[in-house]
Chains A and B, each alone.
Chain A
């Protein structure tokens, strides 16, 4: 079963606006990562936030993590056409076989 569920599933905004995507998960995690995927291509790592961190920034990206609510959000400020892509959260959790599980993803479209 999916560890991470993202919402919205699809998001369309005007260039220059901010985009917010949310990720919820079910079990305790070690860290949470966000990845971007342009259509039919490989994924690109955006940011990693550890379970003891609450917020992290990287350029126009801001990620928050609330372990009590088992949720994370990715904010992209001042969106650009090049931000059009699918965005996935990925959780790494404590288990007998630690592994990364990707969420269902948000398809972001930036309108010019």
Chain B
């Protein structure tokens, strides 16, 4: 199985809602990532988990809260979002990641969750 799955595909939420995005991979990868992508822009890294530990947080606002329950799952909890947070949220995984001595290798991306905040 060389697939990264993400649910839901689309999400519309109000600024007071709490929701979660989910990501799953069964390739035995030890690094997982969350990216945010606005229209016609490149993906921007948000968080990196390496061996189930948060290794990079790109100064993301606390209204985004990542969670890695196990090596196959990655969640992104959303609370009190703003309309400018509307974007495509991409999850990715790679065999290894994190640390100065390791190369990230290729990343496998999920199809993304299209988030609209009203």
* With known contacts A41-B111, A41-B112, A45-B107, A98–B88 Cβ distance under 8 A: no
Contact with B along A17-48 (1 / 0, CB 8 A): 00000000000001101010000111111001
* With known contacts A40-B114, A42-B109, A42-B111, A98–B42 Cβ distance under 8 A: no
Report 18 cross-chain contacts, Cβ distance below 8 Å, ordered by A residue: A2-B42, A31-B103, A42-B111, A43-B90, A45-B107, A45-B108, A45-B109, A48-B106, A88-B43, A94-B100, A96-B100, A98-B102, A99-B56, A100-B107, A102-B44, A103-B42, A104-B42, A107-B40
Quick check: B43 and A97 within 8 Å, CB to CB?
no
Interface size on B, residues (CB 8 A): 28
Q: Does B55 contact A (CB under 8 A)?
A: yes
Give the one of B41, B103, B112 with max A CB within 10 A.
Answer: B103
